């Protein structure tokens, strides 16, 4: 069971990262967390997402601690 949006906001995260449930797809997106109330758990909304790339139902939702910051370079970033 994951943390609530309220707990996430207390730690400074203002957005969420959404990853497709199908590990072969790899599609992801970032969203603002403003639409969900503080008492909702991140795990409560995971089954509601449908991937726009492959159509898979379900997602992995994680806090986005870099929502308002600069992009973080990653492997393959140019």
Domain ranges of the chain: 5-64
Q: Tens digits of per-residue pLDDT, 34-43?
A: 999 999 999 9
Q: 15: which residues sit within 8 A by CB, 6+ positions away?
A: 30, 31, 32, 33, 63, 64, 67
Q: Tens digits of per-residue pLDDT, 15-74?
A: 999 999 998 998 999 999 999 999 999 999 999 999 999 999 999 999 998 866 555 544
* Better pLDDT: 76 or 24: 24
């Amino acid at each position: 069971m994951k943390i609530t949006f309220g707990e996430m906001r207390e730690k400074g995260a203002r957005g969420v990262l959404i990853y497709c449930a199908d590990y072969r797809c790899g599609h992801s997106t970032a969203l603002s967390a403003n639409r969900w109330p503080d008492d909702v758990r991140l795990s409560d909304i995971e089954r509601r997402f449908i991937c726009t790339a492959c159509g898979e139902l379900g997602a992995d939702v994680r806090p986005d601690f870099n929502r308002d910051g600069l992009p973080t370079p990653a492997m393959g970033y140019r």
